Amino acid sequence: MNKRVLIIGGTGYLGQHLLQQSSSDLLLSLAFTHHSSSPPQTLLLNALPFQLDLQTGRGFDQITHQFGQPDVVVNCAALSVPRACETDPALAMSLNVPSTLVKWLSSFPETNKSTLLIHLSTDQVYQGTKSFYKEDDETLPVNVYGKSKVAAEEYVSNNCSNFVILRSSIIFGPQTISPVSKSLPIQWMDGVLAKGQEAEFCHDEFRCPVYVKDVVSVIQILIDRWISDGKKSQLVLNVGGPDRVSRAQMAETVARVRGYNTSLIKQVSASSVDRGVKSPADISMDISRLIETLDFTPTSFEDGVKLTIETLK
């Protein structure tokens, strides 16, 4: 019997890449949730769609009746724009803390096999005052988005017996089959630099951007392990790329790969930019636990940029 995998937020950026990659696995039965009324036809080839309101939990009953208890749930749904979270903290908390999802999972009889919850978190749970945060470092977020994701991690940890929390950095890569409306970092930088005009990029904010297909691979490894060995997890993993880079360094890499003039990149301090939300200075992450636990080799930032740029040609 095929193992059932449910992707919460399947029409988002990571959700679509995960669906696309997983749809070729004939041993999986796939389903995904969407908040809009009609998901793109391109996503319906090998996956069941379910409309879901994460705030109220409306839609979970239909999933129970038509799909049943999933073996794995991957929660990609979130209000992930920091400025939007800052503007409406109550909405951020209600969407980002997956209380309705966890309550639904706990409604299945305990005699059934446990469901593995893979929950996407963020590097913004860290304060940003040092380099290469480890998973056991204190979480002291500086904005509402980070606070909502810390609250989500605590809720999952306190109410689930079988979970993996993935603290992701900036996810970058090719556009999705059904293009998402949000700005994608490499494509945005490419668009700015392609104009041939001087552009400002911060030199003093550091991240470990992660190639989207690496995140998909991490999730697939976790799914395969749970299906094959059935050992419960209570695990937190930093999911970043292997390179600590500033926005200016990211732009320089895009310029090099594309052959743009790097002198167009004007380096400025993050303190001079008002984004309407406080942003942590250095939330680069130590990913040694990820590499050791999953025997995983991450894609370098430059290679990820090259793979992304290839899709733009």
Q: Per residue in 176-232, pLDDT tens?
A: 988 998 899 999 999 999 999 899 999 999 999 999 999 999 999 999 999 999 999
Q: pTM surpassing 0.95?
A: yes
Check residue 26 and give its pLDDT.
Answer: 81
Check residue 229 and give its pLDDT.
Answer: 92
Residue type, 182: K
pLDDT tens per residue, range 247-268? 999 999 999 999 999 999 999 9
Assign residue 14 the CATH number of its domain.
3.40.50.720
Check residue 83 and give its pLDDT.
Answer: 94
- When pLDDT is averaged across residues 47-61 and rounded to a whole number, the result is 96
Evaluate whether 124 touches 283 at the Cβ level (below 8 Å). Answer: yes
Pairing type for strands 199-202 and 265-268 reads: parallel
Check residue 297 and give its pLDDT.
Answer: 96
SS3 88: coil
pLDDT tens per residue, range 155-192? 999 999 999 999 999 999 999 988 998 899 999 999 99
Distances (CA, A) of 163 to 8, 81, 154: 15, 25, 12
Helices (DSSP H) in the chain: which residue ranges?
Answer: 13-22, 60-66, 82-87, 89-96, 99-106, 144-159, 185-194, 212-229, 247-258, 288-294, 301-310
Residue 42 covered by a domain: yes
Structurally, the chain folds into a number of domains equal to 1
Check residue 41 and give its pLDDT.
Answer: 77
Check residue 136 and give its pLDDT.
Answer: 98
Residue 203 covered by a domain: no
Check residue 42 and give its pLDDT.
Answer: 73
Residue 223 covered by a domain: yes
Residue 116 covered by a domain: yes
| Dihedral-angle region of residue 312 (phi above 0 means left; psi in -120 to 50 means alpha; beta otherwise) | alpha
Check residue 290 and give its pLDDT.
Answer: 98
pLDDT, the chain, mean:
95
Domain membership of residue 165 as a residue range: 3-176+210-241+286-298
Residue 265 covered by a domain: no
Among the listed residues 33, 81, 83, the one whose alpha carbon sits nearest the alpha carbon of residue 58: 33
Residue 313 covered by a domain: no
Six token digits for residue 210: 């992660």
Adjacency order of strands within the sheet including 3-8? 47-51, 28-34, 3-8, 72-75, 116-122, 163-168, 234-239
Check residue 235 and give its pLDDT.
Answer: 98
Angle at 214 between CA 211 and CA 215, to 5 degrees: 95
Spatial CB neighbours of 61, under 8 Å, sequence gap ≥ 6: none
Check residue 37 and give its pLDDT.
Answer: 65
